[in-house]
Structure 1
Amino acid sequence: MVAALGDRRIGMVEQTGIAGTGMTRADFLESYRRHSLAFIDASAAAPAEHHFRHFNSGVVLAYADEMRRFLDWADGRRRVLPADNMADNYMIADQDYFQVWANTVAPQHCTSLPWQWNHCGHWDEHFPRPGALIAHFSNFCNGPEFESVMAMHALLDDGPAGSSPAKNTLVEQPAELAFIIITYNSSKVIGYCLDALTNRKHEVIVIDNASTDGTLDHVTREGVTIIRNTRNQGFAAAANRAAAATSAVHLCFLNPDCLMTPAAVEAALSTLRQRPDAMVVPDYVDWHGNPTAGRQPGYSRLKLTADILDNNGMAKLARRLRRLPGYDLESWSWPLAAALFVGRDTFQAIGCFDDRYFCYMEDVAIGFEMARRGLDVIRLGHVLPHFGQHGADIPSSGRIRLIDAARLKFARLHYGRTLAAALAVMHWVLLRRLAIKGAWHRRRRRGMGRR
């Protein structure tokens, strides 16, 4: 910090633009004149453009005496200024006070720090750069974007220094719990997932479905057992294979984009010790704070129909179907298996996951089987972060195809061939409709481009 400040007392990084806007220093200076300076001290003069720096206050380095001088000045200004902190529909915030201090009040005390001190994707190209000292996940008061955080985390060395590739850690005395994580091109999130599993007394098994994105580089760490599939076997088959490789008393099938907490683990194990024939599942919250119940009501014929409609361009009709009675079946439930706890003996007794499902709906099917046997899915009183649809790097169109195929399979296996055939015909018609609509839009765009 001393070296960065040099002979100056306070320093910030210049924000040279905003991605996608084409803003220049001249634009920032005009905004400074019209908003920051006009509100905070209209009698003061703005600097010339070549002296002006649009400092970003996400990171401020300062000597304590200089910071006290700044705060005393800012506090004095605040006491005489309008309380609404608005200038021409522009919100005056901490950054504006730092701008005026650095450019007009005490420019001789201020220095422009190199980009490494405040590296942000909103004004730096090629974010994140490995040489950054501080990463700034600015998103204009909306919180950090998950993709930016994942990209930054990917720069870190996930394994302890000098660690050797993980070896099979299974021992004669079975562990009480084994975490089973199925990966497929999960390099963006698997590091977070493994970082959260800090209790070394539990097994951690990662079974990889032939990833090609360097997932295994993030998985190879002390205490993790790796099983490598030579091809993508899908979720159910891989989960069953990993479960067969451990003698742990309890299993937790954990998605690579879900973060476990010690409190949830202890609560789940306590429940399973008392109810060894049950399944236990927490609730979830996504990156934006939206909650999802882990214990879901049973899948009806109506729900299968609505979900296929929703996935294929008929969202309005799907919403109408969701309002009809019988959409959710309260007679049985299924566990949203982003973090599914179950006793190993119970898992084997119900036949494990149905590996006729490649991906998706295997958790619905296992809930159906639990209900058929009179066994319970218990909702745990804990909430886990689950960054849904980030667990595998699959294009959204491919994900939709997999989900639709799984729902059609569930319809055939549990509701009969007649419903499955009707849904398959509806699915085909919807796909044709989308293809025709897409072709029409492409032809229209080409026509507009020739005008």
Structure 2
Amino acid sequence: MRSSDVTAIVVTFDSAHALPECLGALAADGVPALVVDNASTDDTVAVAVGQGARVIRNARNEGYGRANNIGARAAESEFILIVNPDCIVDKGAVAALVDAARRYPDAAFFAPRIVEPSGRVFYQPRSLLATSLTNPGGKLVLPEGEACAPFFSGACFLMRRDVFLKLGGFDENIFLFYEDDDLCRRVADSGSALIYVPHAVVRHGRGQSSGEKPGRIFASRWHQAWSRAYVSRKYGLPNPAPGMFAINGLKALGARLTFRRKLVERYGGSAAGAWAAMRGRKAF
């Protein structure tokens, strides 16, 4: 694998704490990084520049999908590696993904083995948008080797840049959450395969991409609820918004009695996002 074959696209938002390890691992493996920053208020940009990454600075927070699309359009390599800033790519992992892409030219999406801090391998047992292998209530059994599946995590994956752009990239109506499920669904609907490459290992910090601030839990839950309603409507699934609004609204009222801010933000954000979806509001 040549360094010109792949560009790692890293979307950041107040991610200065996570970037050194992420970018350092990519640099050590000879993978150039393009950081697309969503108007961070910390030292994210300075850290990225100091690590030798090319940086695109957005004037506002464009959300995860739009920012990755900006990076994909700016990249010039054959492949793009979408990677969260709290991911550390093991040496040789990108080469393994590229090798798989060369061996499976009709496939479009290549997913590494994502390992969490506890040592648990993160492998989704189900997806809202999957038409097969949803594993309802079943025991998750990890593939022992390379395997096809209808959906994977968007925390880290490899695609040919032209295929990603031909599919429209991530859905730009989505600010955050379910953009990876939606992309996987469109890859599968296009007739292309999604391949799991377990010998390509990525360490994932799970939710450590951005620092924690008051209101961030509320915003995260708002977008999660809104996006679930949006993709459900997009693919003709039952509308979950009324149920989410009722259940989380009641939970938010109960959480206020506990004076636990994080609980109030969690349930209040979910209720507000569901209500916004019911009212036809956009995520941006």
Q: Could you say whether these structures have the same fold, taking a TM-score greater than 0.5 normalized by the shorter chain as the test? A: yes
Match of 2:219 among 359, 384, 398: 398
CA offset digits 1:110-163 (Å, max 9, x no partner): xxxxxxxxxxxxxxxxxxxxxxxxxxxxxxxxxxxxxxxxxxxxxxxxxxxxxx
Describe the SS at the equivalent of 1:197: helix
Q: Distance in 2 between matches of 1:226 and 1:248?
A: 16
Shift of 1:195: 1.1
Contact 1:297 1:332 in 2 (8 A): no
Q: Distance in 1 between matches of 2:63 and 2:90?
A: 26
Code of the aligned partner of 1:389: G
Shift of 1:222: 5.4
Match of 1:349 among 146, 157, 166: 166
Describe the SS at the equivalent of 1:284: strand
2:74 matched to 1:257?
A: no
Q: Distance in 1 between matches of 2:62 and 2:89?
A: 25
Q: What does residue range 137-152 of structure 1 map to in structure 2 within 5 Å?
A: none
Q: What does residue range 211-250 of structure 1 map to in structure 2 within 5 Å?
A: 211-221=40-50, 223-250=52-79
Contact 1:332 1:368 in 2 (8 A): no
Q: Distance in 2 between matches of 1:362 and 1:424?
A: 18
Describe the SS at the equivalent of 2:88: coil
TM-score (norm 2): 0.78
Shift of 1:201: 4.8
Q: Distance in 2 between matches of 1:208 and 1:243?
A: 14
CA offset digits 1:324-360 (Å, max 9, x no partner): 8xxxxxx961221211100112112212111111011
2:118 matched to 1:288?
A: yes
Describe the SS at the equivalent of 1:205: strand
Q: Distance in 1 between matches of 2:191 and 2:221?
A: 32
Q: Which has the higher contact order (CA 8 A, sep 6+)?
A: 2
Describe the SS at the equivalent of 1:181: strand
Code of the aligned partner of 1:391: S
Match of 2:16 among 163, 179, 187: 187
Task: Name the larger-Rg structure.
Answer: 1
For residue 377 of structure 1, what is the aligned residue in structure 2?
Answer: 194
* Percent identity of equivalent pairs: 25
Stretches of 4+ aligned residues off by more than 6 angstroms: none
Q: 1:334 to 1:243 in 2, by over 3 A?
A: same
For residue 100 of structure 1, what is the aligned residue in structure 2?
Answer: none
Contact 2:178 2:231 in 1 (8 A): yes
2:5 matched to 1:176?
A: yes
For residue 275 of structure 2, what is the aligned residue in structure 1?
Answer: none
Q: Distance in 1 between matches of 2:47 and 2:111?
A: 26
Q: What does residue range 19-30 of structure 1 map to in structure 2 within 5 Å?
A: none
TM-score (norm 1): 0.50
Code of the aligned partner of 1:386: H
Gap regions ≥5 residues in structure 2: 139-147, 260-284
2:237 matched to 1:407?
A: no
Shift of 1:397: 3.3
Q: Distance in 1 between matches of 2:125 and 2:34?
A: 27
CA RMSD, aligned part only?
Answer: 2.6
Contact 2:114 2:202 in 1 (8 A): yes
Number of matched pairs: 242
For residue 425 of structure 1, what is the aligned residue in structure 2?
Answer: 242
Contact 2:16 2:43 in 1 (8 A): yes
Gap regions ≥5 residues in structure 1: 1-172, 302-320, 325-330, 443-451
Code of the aligned partner of 2:14: N
Describe the SS at the equivalent of 1:299: coil
Q: What does residue range 26-105 of structure 1 map to in structure 2 within 5 Å?
A: none
Contact 1:193 1:256 in 2 (8 A): yes
Describe the SS at the equivalent of 2:250: helix
Q: Distance in 2 between matches of 1:290 and 1:189?
A: 20
Contact 1:253 1:339 in 2 (8 A): yes
Q: Distance in 1 between matches of 2:74 and 2:29?
A: 18
